[in-house]
Amino acid sequence: MIKKTFHGGYYFNCEDKPREKVIESVLPPMVVIPLKQGFGREVKPLVTVGDKVKAGQIIGRDDHGVSSPVHASINGNVERITKLKYSTGPINAVIITADSNPDWQPLAGNNRNWQLLSLEKIETLLYSSGATSLDSKGIPTRFKTSSNVGRDVSDLIIQGIEDRPYNLSLPALLAGERCTHFIEGIKILQKIMPRANIHLAINRNRREIKRELIQKTEDLKWLTFYSLPPRYPQGNDRVLAATILGKRDRKTVDAEGIAVLSVGTVLNVHDAVVEGKPVIETIIALCGPGWKENINIRVRVGTPIETITGIYLDQTNSNWMIIPNNPLTSGALADFSLPVDRTITSLTAVSKNIKVQRPWSLLSAISPLKGRGCSPNIYDEVKPCIFCGYCEEICPAGIIPHLIDKYARRNIISNELIRYGIFECVECNLCSYICPSKIPVARHIKLGQQRLIEYGFTEPEAGLKEDTVEKYCLGQEG
């Protein structure tokens, strides 16, 4: 067991974390299946209005682009095909009305003795189950499912670090026989990525799970076990790769050949290959003060969020906002009719009513810097930077966010920005989170990067060409 850590970061100290148990949710009367879920492109629908579909049936696929198939998650009829308004743009979705049959149709070719399956067979199973679209870069197979190529993966990192303010808890995921399933999943992944060093990084505070995993993986010589502190953003792909593989500069960490997968994805890999179960269910942690109970629920993919809120949300106060997944990298949902897709692992409900923090609430004021509470981002005013240095202190990339922010927001786009490491940013948004002046630092950094690329910046090494900078400066004056 190897212990490592990184510079910077922040321990969240949120209450209202879900209990460590998974509860089966009711079957929804209707599901909305977006035709793009997770990594990859949108796929074309294979069904038309009125078709009868079975749970687990592939209703959309596109074998030519980087994508993965989409499944019906419930038995029923296709009602219509419509466009969903996501903040990133519209996505087509298939709406299915359900009958009350909870069965699902397994994938062809699965085998309990998966060691007997050929490599090609396993990759086909993974691809057709949809598991390859999970996590930020997907699982590499011989289909175009990831920016990596399976055979060339040199390092596979499996993370269960629980570094976010609210996480899907490991004990809930790995309860009972799921732990064995998880290890089977790792073995399957090892088979499809034969050249990879496999690293398993687990939250160091989960003693029992660590003990169990170490006990069960003793005979696996190719597996390295890491025990990492649950400090945000340790689970971020770039931070994790840099922590585990040693200090490397940005280019090597971003380069192809490193795959980062979460514990839940590995379980999906097991289910697809051993049980033939496509990704039609997902476990969601209901976090924050807004829910009647903080629990983990297992729901069908495509369940509209309003169905979940209808059952589990505390209705006495109607003013809740719901943030999907990591509250630091995503904002509140505007539309509760959007469905739960494969990628959603948690829904955080917080009250909109806290407008501005009262400065005299003494108890929270006295508590030290680490481990204060958090509140929804409804601050109405951005104040000037007071150089408190918190953003520099917590930045996992080792840059000075407020310095870059100063240049970027005044639109001073020059080589200075590159020199101060604007492209080192790992986009964890921790600087925006911690800023007492409520400056959207991370957004300004992102805008600065986009501005640099607009002005002809291509390689981190080269910087902007001198004449570009001069031309730009002249334009500024005029």
Binding-site member from 108, 116, 363, 366 for another protein (CB under 8 A): 366
458 CB neighbour count, 10 Å cutoff = 11
Instruction: Name the nearest CA neighbour of 129 among 320, 332, 294, 273.
Output: 273
Distance CA 303, CA 347 (A): 13
Three-class secondary structure of residue 138 per DSSP: coil
User: Nearest 5°: phi and psi at 291?
Assistant: -90, 155
Binding mask 175-214 for another protein (x = CB under 8 A): ----------------------------------------
Structural contact between residues 309 and 336, judged by C-beta atoms closer than 8 angstroms? yes
Between 100 and 319, whose beta carbon lies closer to another protein? Answer: 319
Between 178 and 451, whose beta carbon lies closer to another protein? Answer: 451
Q: Specify whether the backbone of 276 is left (phi greater than 0), alpha (psi in -120 to 50) or beta.
A: left
Site for another protein in 435-454 (CB under 8 A): 435-438, 440, 442-443, 447, 450-451, 454
Handedness of CA 142, 257, 426, 245 (dihedral sign): positive
Is 333 one of the binding residues for another protein (CB under 8 A)?
yes
Candidates 148-156, 176-184, 300-308, 325-333; binding stretch for another protein (CB under 8 A) = 325-333
Binding-site member from 50, 176, 246, 368 for another protein (CB under 8 A): 368
Candidates 57-65, 171-179, 258-266, 368-376; binding stretch for another protein (CB under 8 A) = 368-376
Site for another protein in 28-87 (CB under 8 A): 87
Is 364 one of the binding residues for another protein (CB under 8 A)?
yes
Candidates 72-80, 221-229, 302-310, 333-341; binding stretch for another protein (CB under 8 A) = 333-341
Is 339 one of the binding residues for another protein (CB under 8 A)?
no
Cα 245-246-247 angle, rounded to 5 deg: 130
Q: Give CA torsion, residues 415, 420, 425, 429, to 10 deg.
A: -110
Binding-site member from 119, 175, 400, 469 for another protein (CB under 8 A): 400
Candidates 58-66, 71-79, 138-146, 428-436; binding stretch for another protein (CB under 8 A) = 428-436
- How many CA atoms within 13 Å lie on the side-chain side of 164? 27
- How many CA atoms within 13 Å lie on the side-chain side of 179? 15
Instruction: Name the nearest CA neighbour of 332 among 359, 309, 363, 358.
Output: 309
Is 376 one of the binding residues for another protein (CB under 8 A)?
yes
Least Cβ distance, residue 247 to another protein (angstroms): 7
Is 7 one of the binding residues for another protein (CB under 8 A)?
yes
Least Cβ distance, residue 21 to another protein (angstroms): 25
Instruction: Name the nearest CA neighbour of 197 among 226, 171, 228.
Output: 226
Between 178 and 443, whose beta carbon lies closer to another protein? Answer: 443
Instruction: Name the nearest CA neighbour of 57 among 74, 38, 35.
Output: 74
Least Cβ distance, residue 303 to another protein (angstroms): 21
Site for another protein in 407-426 (CB under 8 A): 409-411, 415, 418-421, 423-424
Least Cβ distance, residue 397 to another protein (angstroms): 8
Least Cβ distance, residue 66 to another protein (angstroms): 22
Is 398 one of the binding residues for another protein (CB under 8 A)?
yes
User: Token pair for residue 294?
Assistant: 């903080």
Candidates 217-225, 254-262, 301-309, 385-393; binding stretch for another protein (CB under 8 A) = 385-393
Site for another protein in 123-182 (CB under 8 A): 165
List, as one string, the DSSP characters of 417-453. HHHTTGGG-----HHHHH-TT---HHHHHHHHHHHHH
276 CB neighbour count, 10 Å cutoff = 20
Site for another protein in 244-263 (CB under 8 A): 247, 249
Binding-site member from 1, 2, 49, 369 for another protein (CB under 8 A): 369
Least Cβ distance, residue 163 to another protein (angstroms): 14
Is 340 one of the binding residues for another protein (CB under 8 A)?
no
List of long-range contacts for 369-373, beta carbons under 8 Å, 24+ apart:
370/10, 370/11, 370/13, 371/11, 371/12, 371/13, 372/13, 373/13, 373/14, 373/15
User: Nearest 5°: phi and psi at 454?
Assistant: -55, -35
Is 356 one of the binding residues for another protein (CB under 8 A)?
yes
Is 471 one of the binding residues for another protein (CB under 8 A)?
no
Binding-site member from 365, 453, 458, 473 for another protein (CB under 8 A): 365
Between 41 and 247, whose beta carbon lies closer to another protein? Answer: 247
How many amino acids of this chain bind another protein (CB under 8 A)?
89
Binding-site member from 377, 465, 469, 472 for another protein (CB under 8 A): 377
Least Cβ distance, residue 202 to another protein (angstroms): 25
Least Cβ distance, residue 164 to another protein (angstroms): 10
**Beta-carbon contacts of residue 360 (< 8 Å; ≥ 6 apart):** none
Is 389 one of the binding residues for another protein (CB under 8 A)?
yes
Distance CA 426, CA 239 (A): 7
